[in-house]
């Protein structure tokens, strides 16, 4: 397999994989391209490499910056903005977990806490509160798991994975 074939396969695969993390395919493909690039890239190079529009590139670069997965790099004498990706895979995993927790789990916890305050003066309301309480337990477990990933150090996390495969 040539380098170009491998590069394209990685970018396509990362795009597919990341959709399962809550990141859109193009955003993940840009991230993959920046991860394997030895130098920061400008928007024009990203657009050309991935065959995407300027608007699509700009929107997804902004989202990647918001997620904390890429950074801007300014070059002396250049008016263009350049971008580079975090290359530490453990930091990437923790950052994705942190963002997913903030965007998905935290709002659900807030809503469930509010729903638990329902008056339980009817059998239906009692059943409702029972279900909400059980859902809260599952969401709380997911939240604790995400927090463990976010706070985990690379060595601890690797140790946990190795225990599973021994």
Whichever domain contains 21, its CATH number is 1.10.10.10
**Given this model, what pLDDT does residue 90 score?**
84
Q: Are residues 129 and 96 in the same domain?
A: yes
Q: Are residues 23 and 36 in the same domain?
A: yes
pTM, 2 dp: 0.75
pLDDT per residue as tens digits for the range 124-140: 999 999 999 999 999 99
Q: Are residues 102 and 149 in the same domain?
A: yes
Q: Are residues 54 and 106 in the same domain?
A: no
Q: Are residues 36 and 109 in the same domain?
A: no
pLDDT per residue as tens digits for the range 22-54: 778 999 999 999 999 999 999 999 999 999 999
Are 29 and 11 a contacting pair, CB within 8 Å? yes
Please give the residue range of the domain that contains residue 121: 89-165
Q: Are residues 14 and 36 in the same domain?
A: yes
């Amino acid at each position: 397999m040539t380098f170009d074939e491998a590069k394209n396969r990685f970018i396509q695969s990362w795009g597919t994989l990341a959709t399962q993390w809550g990141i859109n395919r193009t955003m993940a493909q840009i991230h993959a391209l920046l991860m394997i690039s030895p130098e920061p890239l400008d928007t024009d190079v990203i657009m050309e490499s991935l065959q995407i529009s300027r608007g699509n590139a700009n929107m997804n670069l902004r989202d990647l910056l918001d997620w904390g997965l890429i950074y801007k790099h300014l070059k002396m004498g250049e008016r263009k903005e350049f971008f580079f990706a975090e290359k530490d895979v453990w930091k990437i995993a923790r950052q994705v977990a942190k963002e997913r927790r903030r965007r998905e789990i935290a709002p659900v916890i807030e809503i469930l806490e509010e729903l638990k305050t329902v008056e339980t003066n009817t059998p239906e309301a009692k059943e409702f509160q029972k279900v909400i309480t059980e859902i809260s337990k599952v969401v709380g477990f997911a939240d604790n798991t995400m927090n463990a990933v976010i706070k985990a150090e690379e060595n601890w996390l690797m140790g946990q994975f190795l225990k599973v495969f021994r």
